[in-house]
Structure 1
Amino acid sequence: MFDSAFKSARSKIISGLTLTLMAATCFASVGQAASPAEIKAKGTAVIGVQMDQVPWGYINESGKNEGFDIEVAKMIAEELGVEAKFERITGQNRIPLLVGGMVDFLVPSMTVTEERAKVIQYVLPYSSNDITVWGKKGAQIAGDQDLGKYVIGVNRGSAFEPVLVKHAPPNTQIKRFDDDATTVQALLSGQVDAILGSVTYGLVIEKTGKTAEFERKYKVADNIQAMAVRKGDQEMLDFLNDFVTRHTADGSLDALYKKWIGSERAKLPTTMTGVDFTGKQ
């Protein structure tokens, strides 16, 4: 019975991702190309960013966008000489918003995957974010084999969801939530015993003053992240690849990562299996 339920859950995830990618492909036909020249001409860069994930992108107490990705996005807009207009993205809407032309490009701390690379064009990786299990202090979770003993939460539609399904035992009770903020809140409120997601969930937990009740259990997987443009937006891709290359060399991205994430930025790959960062393959 548990094996059947596990297979059903996995099938739903794969089907859901397939539908999302199909919808994104359909939207692509109506999307408008974005180049640096076109963005400069309109005077505004519409940038898809997270608004509920500390410290990557969130709304601060003053109602302003803040975070690592926000600063990166502002740097890009400044180099383009335009105003940055931020559009809220989620795990479910970011690809349709991009290929549908509602945003010019994404600065989303989005995991690089071969499946997504079939629909969107990734820029060279600019950050990373370990996929981690966080849980109650009393929960005895030391590895994948222990997940089946507890109720585990995850952000549906994110890269974390299929990772959890892959690593968790078939009998694991999984609860899915709409975004990162509600996933963390589910742990804090006792709806689940543990959650799988960003290593930076710990910063959110710390802000609540509940670090005595919850802890990082173990790292599940690496998570390489990149910005994205529409396929065919070669000039925008070249501009952003140059941006990442230059600001890796001058240490700007390292400094921002240290400021917001609190650790050293990893040495990131410039090639990955099944993913083309040049737009020319």
Structure 2
Amino acid sequence: MALALVTTVWASCATDLFIDLAANALQSDECGAVLLTLSPTALIDIDSLYDLIIKLHRTQKKLVMVCLLGGGGMTNMRTRINEAGIPTFRTPETAIEGFQFLVQFQRNQLLAKQSPDSHAFRFKIDVSEATKTLNHLFKKGEKTPHADALRDIFELFHIRLITRRQASNQLSAPIHLRVFQDNVFGPAIGLSLEGAQQHKQAEAVALPPLNTILAKDLIQRAFPGEESFELESLLRNLSTMVCELPEIESLEARRCATSRQWQCLR
């Protein structure tokens, strides 16, 4: 959801041109809202501007927001526009903050519609074989099996311990991945840069099962602006393994920046 910002601080900008710029922006499929920001002068016809804003609001379905700077008569104008059902703001900062709330709401609505399931059946993963291997390890007294002992289980869920080279600068840094048990929600997956997990606010957490959208969202929250199809696949496969094998209470892994290898820590 993109925001188009139409702004003027000079009386030389005609009122109808000001509105036409907003209308053109709203015609784009990539534009979800428009913010009209105006610092009026005595030469601008405020009443005409009001009529044009109301018409723009009523003739299309996308969001129109208005930021009128100043007090006095602008306070009354903001009230009139707001009463017409159009969000109004006194400063650009509060207007942008308001739009960010809308973006967050849209994101939450998208995530709430996700109903992911396990990929085990689709990819013909022999869960019984993985469970048998785990039970065998437990019977041998290995409550915290070493990575080599779990290698066959990882392979069953298509999780490789070696990754391809990442082009991204951020994703080429050491990455920390962990599975842990939340007291309320149960199994959870945490993703962060190596060392950052010591500060909980730096770690992004998601609840399995994960599909592509939820895996992308986890990566974006951990590494804003980054994309990695390989990491998405790893997260989906790890999510499936966690869902199908409740015996796994915790797991930590990291990827070294130099070797690009995933190492299972515990």
- In the superposition, the TM-score normalised over structure 1's length comes to 0.24
- Which has more radius of gyration? 2
Higher relative contact order (CA 8 A, sep 6+): 1
- In the superposition, the TM-score normalised over structure 2's length comes to 0.25
Q: Which has the higher strand share?
A: 1
